[in-house]
Structure 1
Amino acid sequence: MVHYYKKAAEGKKTFLLLHGTGGDEMDLVPLANMIDDGNGILSIRGAVIENGMNRFFKRFGEGVFDEDDIRQRAGEISEFIQEASIKYSFQPDELIALGYSNGANMIAAMLLLEAGIFRKSILYHPMVPLAQVEGINLDGSSVFISAGTNDPIVTGENSKRLYELLKENGADVTIKWFQKGHTLTTEEVKSSKEWLFSQTHT
């Protein structure tokens, strides 16, 4: 997979970065460095091309996902993480997953498909990625969700549904609402940084 890697400083964790539709592996690197520039970075470029734009899985229309493709691509990313962890010598179970929009949806899907794959996840403007999931146990997983009250792509009801789905299956979930649209803001990044700091200093 096309990706960017930065080695973590001594004693630090590694971010897994998944960009939004139309982004690439460098899009979220400055953001990750704003949150914790000592952390390592494994940033992946989405392998699906839609009208010239990079994505992590196929869709049939706005908000209508190809769930078979989600499951296949999630498995491929999971395998790549294992390979990269050997190549770059980091612990895959200590990754901090961070995604925006399409990338956040993929991280949410991976959590629902492979419980325990990420202990900490930051999801900016995610949606419920899968209609049905069964038998998942997310005990030990902490998730931060940021949502926009005026988001034209992700409805407030969808954001709440994802929050409830993760929480019902054992995850420790924090959701923060911002009076914004779908654009990722500095205010959201700051809030997620505070959340992550609280997670690692309790």
Structure 2
Amino acid sequence: MDYFFQEGATQQQLVLAFHGTGGNEYQLLTTVAELFPQASLLSFLGSVSEGSQRRFFAPLIDGQLNRQEFDQQTTQFFQEELLTFIQKYQEIILIGYSNGANFILGLLEQHADIADTVILLHPSRLVYSFNQSSEVKIYLTVGAQDNISLPGDGLKLTEELKQFFPNTTMILTDGGHQLTEQEVNDIQKRLGE
């Protein structure tokens, strides 16, 4: 999988970023720089093509995951990409937008303690199967006007996550299915608490 790496001022903190459908490895650079200015950054380019758009797993079919393909993508990514990097840092942060956020949820299914902090920007409530608990801090953003990742589904996903990840916080924003400056500011405030 292709990626962009930027060494940070500190060797202790690594942010792994996962773009949304149609994005690329540079989509979340500004957001990460605002939230974690001293951290090293590893931003991945999804390996699945949907026309000219890149994603981390196959498109949904009738609103459902191709479960076998999804599990294969997350397992392969963990074994071939992630293990190489996460062992070198003391603090691991995962951040993903839309398709990238959903991909992170697949990683959490298999490895609940993969990170110290997880930021899910506009994830979808797909059928996830968590079976391990973890103290990882999860911040999940939902847009009140989002017609792709519906606000009600975001609330239900938050409640499902809290059963295994008690440090899950939902942040409701005014916008739709896009990342806004106010949303980044809200996340920054929560990170500082």
Q: Please say if 1:126 is aligned against 2:123.
A: yes
| 1:153 alignment partner in structure 2 | 148
Q: Please say if 1:104 is aligned against 2:101.
A: yes
Which consecutive aligned stretches of 4+ in structure 1 deviate over 4 angstroms post-superposition?
none
Provide the rounded CA distance (Å) in 2 between the counterparts of 1:12 and 1:153.
Answer: 36
Amino acid at match of 1:10: T
Residue 145 of structure 1, CA deviation: 0.7
Provide the rounded CA distance (Å) in 2 between the counterparts of 1:134 and 1:144.
Answer: 17
| 1:48 alignment partner in structure 2 | 48
Structure 1 residues 100-109 or 74-83, which shifts more?
Answer: 74-83
Please report the TM-score for the alignment, with normalisation by the length of structure 1.
0.88
Would you tell me which structure has more helix in proportion to its own residues? 1
After superposition, give the CA deviation of every residue in 1:73-119 in whole Å (9 maximum; x if it has no partner).
11122121112346xxx32x621000100001111221122211122
Provide the rounded CA distance (Å) in 2 between the counterparts of 1:132 and 1:100.
Answer: 17
Provide the rounded CA distance (Å) in 1 between the counterparts of 2:73 and 2:109.
Answer: 14
**Contact conserved, 1:154 with 1:182, CA < 8 A, in 2?**
yes
**Contact conserved, 1:17 with 1:41, CA < 8 A, in 2?**
yes
| 2:191 alignment partner in structure 1 | 196
**Contact conserved, 1:126 with 1:154, CA < 8 A, in 2?**
yes
Residue 185 of structure 1, CA deviation: 0.5
Provide the rounded CA distance (Å) in 2 between the counterparts of 1:20 and 1:33.
Answer: 18
| 1:168 alignment partner in structure 2 | 163
**Contact conserved, 1:149 with 1:181, CA < 8 A, in 2?**
yes
Residue 11 of structure 1, CA deviation: 5.5
Q: Which runs of 5+ in 1 are unaligned?
A: none
Q: Which runs of 5+ in 2 are unaligned?
A: none
Structure 1 residues 95-104 or 75-84, which shifts more?
Answer: 75-84
**Contact conserved, 2:86 with 2:92, CA < 8 A, in 1?**
no
Q: Size of the alignment, in residue pairs?
A: 192
Identity within the alignment, %: 27
